[in-house]
Amino acid sequence: MDTENIITERIIKCAIEVHRTLGPGLLESIYEECLCKEFDLDGLPYTRQKELPIQYKGMVLSEKYRLDLVVNEAVVVELKCVEMILPVHVAQVLTYLKLTKMKLGLLLNFNTDMMKRGIKRVIL
């Protein structure tokens, strides 16, 4: 199994644990902080709220994207607390993947009865 798949499995395991402990209905920021605590316990390296500079026609903009989480410098993790994952959410992760030149993203929606129903793997 390649590194990205192993990391993805560990991320999902951590997300399931957070969801099992807290349940649905909280703010995204709460899930993000708890997920980071699980990553720490699991030994997963991550960057939280990673800033990503944006260029427009060769000019660097003062505004930046902020990625929720980047795990092991290989997987973009976007958190949501929405009724359902929409195509615009997937498009957002695809944009992040293009800008970071990473191949794999996970879209995690904590507003579900079971976490496994809120997981969407996005591949560039």
Q: Where residue 2 falls among pLDDT bands split at 50, 70, 90?
A: confident
Residues whose CB is less than 8 angstroms from the CB of residue 35 and which lie 6 or more positions away in sequence, other chains included: 14, 15, 18, 69, 77, 79, 108
Distance CA 95, CA 9 (A): 23
Please tell me the pTM assigned to this model: 0.92
* CATH number where 38 lies: 3.40.1350
Residue-range definition of the domain harbouring residue 27? 3-123
Residue 75 has pLDDT above 90, yes or no: yes
Residue 108 has pLDDT above 60, yes or no: yes
- The predicted pLDDT at position 69 comes to 98
- The predicted pLDDT at position 32 comes to 98
**Number of structural domains the chain divides into:** 1
